[in-house]
Structure 1
Amino acid sequence: MKESKLVKIAKYIEDNGLELADLSINGLGYASIGILYEIDKEWKYFDSKELGFYLLIVVFILNIVFGVLILRKRRRLSEYKIKVENLSNKVQLLENDIENLYSDFFSLFNDQLAIIYHRLNFTANERISVYRHKNSKFEIIGRYSLNNKLAQVRRKSYPDSEGFIKNAWESENGEFSLNNLPEFVDGQKQKYYRAILKECAMPADSLRDIRFKGRSYYLKSLTDSANLNRKAIIVFESFETDKFDSETINSILEEEDQRLTLFIEKMKTNGNENDLANIKGF
């Protein structure tokens, strides 16, 4: 909301009241003294020069008082600025510590995904990603693949209203699988897209934005430690067909469930709940 001129004037007077008072006293005081000396008039009990002399003493004393007050104010402001600067430096150090802490936390989480990856004997044709559900979207919080190109993250989040993620998230058992998508090659690209749209709803721009043109997918919802609410989705993707055996994957996930759940529930940033992916640099 834009401040009115009256409010701006009031704030200016509040911030500079002592200086304005000192200037006013100097201006009016010395002007009055000059006038009294200039008129050189006598009254019954005193004359104008005598009154001017007393007024000079009063103005001089007030100058000293306001000068001391202004110096104290400036010293307090200087001390306040130093404190603010010190606190800002401490906040920056804390933010750096938090960033390093969560960067390490992400690395540990990706190590956990690597354990699952290698237990399933995956190759450089596969990758595992985990998305946490928050505010009607899924935010990526971890990804692992032997293939560095597949491990890269370009898109940080997806809406929960489209794609295979929506199918898994809303299904009765919290799962979704697809094992025989056509190969994405020249001459069959539209066939690939049509096969995806046959399985899920997805806007055209999101469809074209898919970089991993996998042929096998398996998605499973992950619940909280009390097994009451779904919190995230783990996504398995492969360039090969008929790659994923859900029973084998679920058996390993059950064994790793406690550690996975712990990581997901502990992955919280500061009170603003910023994107976790930003900390890791996704």
Structure 2
Amino acid sequence: MLSVKRRKAWEAFLDFCAVWVQPGLVLVVLLSGTMLSFDFAALALQYPEWRGVFGVLQATPLFVVLLIAGLVSFALSILETRRHGTLATMRSHLRQRQSEIDEIGNSITILFDGLLLNVGRKLQLTEGAQVRVSLYMHDKNQKAFVRCGRYSPNPVFAEPGRTSYPDDEGCIAQGWLKEWHFDNQVPANGAARRSYNQKQYAIPDHVNEAIRMKSRLYAARRLDDALGTAVAVLVVEAIEPDHFEEEFIRATLDGVADDFARMIHTLHRYIPNPANAAESGL
């Protein structure tokens, strides 16, 4: 077994060979293989001013050079394969790693769902209440909010729905900008609702029509980590506009905000993010 220091040196040597030596060997193989077909004696007679160069090339054992370069390149390829494995092995390891990450992500989602259940209890939600509590992590690269937890005592409203939302639309965006947003003036439905959502929340008509839970009360609390960096938004929505008093719901969300912010800050790399998965081809 190689010591740690020797193994690191060996790995560095193989990296150097892969980056610099092997491409050079490939070039040598290509050039020497091509020059084997040349008659340098005839070329020296045709171009006497280059006789010295052609004499050197004629005296060089090009076949030996070709053979040595090919063998060394082959040996380095074998070492690289032994170090990293075949492409199929690497893909298998990547799939296994992704499966482990997915399992962690699923566990985190279940954890957040359970914590939001506790928030529901603090909000004194009863069975079948037309209320939903959701947690959205902000993805600054995608300029979107990624849902990472949801709870509702009503199974219809507990359904996942969209996995991400633009960070410039809806009550989530308002809470993100202002730290706190409360609105219980949303019209129930129809043209009045579409107009209100477009004016207040920049929600396009086609998105408005696709919203399944026609909430009339929204409360959004931004979550900042210990460094003061905004990381997520906690949202409560209800069908009935008078379901909560603003003071009560704000005090409840203020009471849990720091705990959720710490968890998002710590676990954000492992929270399932459909955008990252699509970029990775997973």
TM-score range, shorter chain: 0.5 to 0.7
Residue of structure 1 equivalent to 2:29: 18
Number of residue equivalences: 235
Matched to 2:117, the amino acid is: A
Task: Return the TM-score normalized by structure 1.
Answer: 0.66
Structure 1 gap segments, 5+ residues each: 1-10, 33-54
Asked which structure has the greater CA Rg, the reply is: 1
C-alpha separation in 2, matches of 1:207 and 1:20:
66
Give the drift of 1:88.
5.0
Contact 1:131 1:140 in 2 (8 A): yes
Pair 1:276 & 2:279 matched? no
Give the drift of 1:232.
2.1
Matched to 2:166, the amino acid is: P
Structure 2 gap segments, 5+ residues each: 1-21, 42-57
Residue of structure 1 equivalent to 2:138: 133
> Within 5 A, what are the aligned runs for 1:2-17?
15=26, 17=28
C-alpha separation in 2, matches of 1:28 and 1:277:
58
Residue of structure 1 equivalent to 2:212: 211
Classify 1:69/1:232 alpha carbon distance in 2 versus 1 (closer, same or farther; 3 Å): closer
Pair 1:150 & 2:147 matched? no
C-alpha separation in 2, matches of 1:108 and 1:216:
26
Give the drift of 1:108.
1.1
Residue of structure 2 equivalent to 1:51: none
Give the drift of 1:261.
1.5
Give the drift of 1:94.
3.1
Residue of structure 1 equivalent to 2:182: 177
Residue of structure 2 equivalent to 1:97: 100
> Within 5 A, what are the aligned runs for 1:19-38?
20-22=31-33, 24-25=35-36, 27-28=37-38
Contact 2:187 2:196 in 1 (8 A): yes
Matched to 1:237, the amino acid is: E
Residue of structure 1 equivalent to 2:241: 241
Alignment RMSD: 3.7
> Within 5 A, what are the aligned runs for 1:184-223?
184=189, 189-197=190-198, 199-223=200-224
| Runs of 4+ with deviation above 6 angstroms | 11-14
Residue of structure 2 equivalent to 1:264: 264
Residue of structure 1 equivalent to 2:18: none
Q: Find the residue that maps to 1:233 and give its secondary structure.
A: strand
Give the drift of 1:240.
2.6
Contact 1:102 1:279 in 2 (8 A): no
C-alpha separation in 2, matches of 1:19 and 1:163:
61
Matched to 1:276, the amino acid is: N
Give the drift of 1:28.
4.3
Give the drift of 1:112.
1.0
C-alpha separation in 2, matches of 1:130 and 1:111:
12
Contact 2:106 2:272 in 1 (8 A): no
Contact 1:217 1:244 in 2 (8 A): no
C-alpha separation in 1, matches of 2:68 and 2:200:
79
Contact 2:198 2:205 in 1 (8 A): no
2:170 aligned to which of 159, 163, 168: 163
C-alpha separation in 2, matches of 1:216 and 1:109:
23
Matched to 2:165, the amino acid is: Y
Which range moved further: 74-83 or 122-131? 74-83
Matched to 2:99, the amino acid is: N
